[in-house]
């Protein structure tokens, strides 16, 4: 939760700095992407900043959604996906962009992996043992940060835009990893 207020402040600050420019557009969006039986559906907010003359710019977005991911052991894992993403590209009537993003929930929750932990063990009523130890040797193999990189494009209809994208995703947990890495999807964006 440490990064959520910071992210909101950064988005508001960027919007305030460029609020007089016609090329700054806050938006809301719905996105759905899938590969086989795995799917991620999200809603979010974003802000696009572009140069008026060239239409090259960037977009920063934050979304919250549901992910249903088929694992390499063919189980379905269901979790909340809270993502921060960025796009760089050409944004006009037709858009083309490169994008990258990270799972904020996992990013914030990773602090516990690098800390020593305190354990309080009661073996019986008379024997009580407290100690600290480092969990480094007990860390799972799959403790990489969930993230994505991708490419996309879309058509702008004024206050609405329809985009398609393909993303290479790193999705895993301490106990499982995703069966598929490549996801394709569509995004409907409404701009103000």
For the chain, list residues with pLDDT below 70: 1-23, 110-143
pLDDT in tens, 86-98: 999 999 999 999 9
How far apart (Å, rounded) are the C-alpha atoms in residues 58 and 41? 23
Q: What angle do CA 52, 57, 63 make, to 5 degrees?
A: 125
Tokens 């835009």 sit on residue: 161
The CATH number that domain 21-108+144-191 falls under is 2.40.160.20
For 84, the token pair is: 């921060």
Find tokens 């960025």 and name the residue: 86
**Would you call 68 exposed, middle or buried from its count of C-beta atoms within 10 A (0-12, 13-18, 19+)?**
middle
- pLDDT given for residue 183 in this prediction: 98
Burial of 145 (C-beta count, 10 Å sphere; 0-12/13-18/19+) = exposed
Q: Report the predicted TM-score, pTM, of the whole model to 2 decimal places.
A: 0.75
């Amino acid at each position: 939760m440490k990064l959520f207020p910071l992210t909101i402040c950064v988005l508001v600050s960027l919007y305030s700095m460029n609020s007089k420019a016609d090329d700054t557009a806050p938006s809301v969006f719905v996105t759905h992407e899938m590969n086989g039986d795995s799917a991620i559906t999200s809603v979010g907010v974003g802000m696009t900043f572009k140069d008026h003359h060239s239409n090259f710019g960037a977009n920063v977005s934050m979304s919250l959604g549901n992910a249903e991911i088929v694992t390499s052991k063919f189980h379905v894992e269901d979790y909340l996906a809270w993502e921060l993403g960025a796009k760089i590209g050409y944004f006009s009537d037709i858009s083309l962009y490169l994008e990258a993003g990270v799972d904020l929930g996992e990013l914030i929750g990773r602090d516990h992996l690098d800390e020593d932990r305190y354990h309080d063990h009661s073996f019986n009523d008379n024997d009580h043992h407290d100690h600290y130890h480092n969990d480094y040797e007990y860390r799972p193999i799959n403790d990489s940060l969930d993230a994505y990189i991708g490419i996309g494009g879309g058509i702008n209809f004024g206050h609405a835009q329809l985009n398609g994208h393909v993303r290479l995703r790193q999705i895993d947990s301490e106990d499982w990893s995703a069966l598929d890495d490549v996801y394709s999807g569509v995004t409907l964006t409404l701009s103000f």
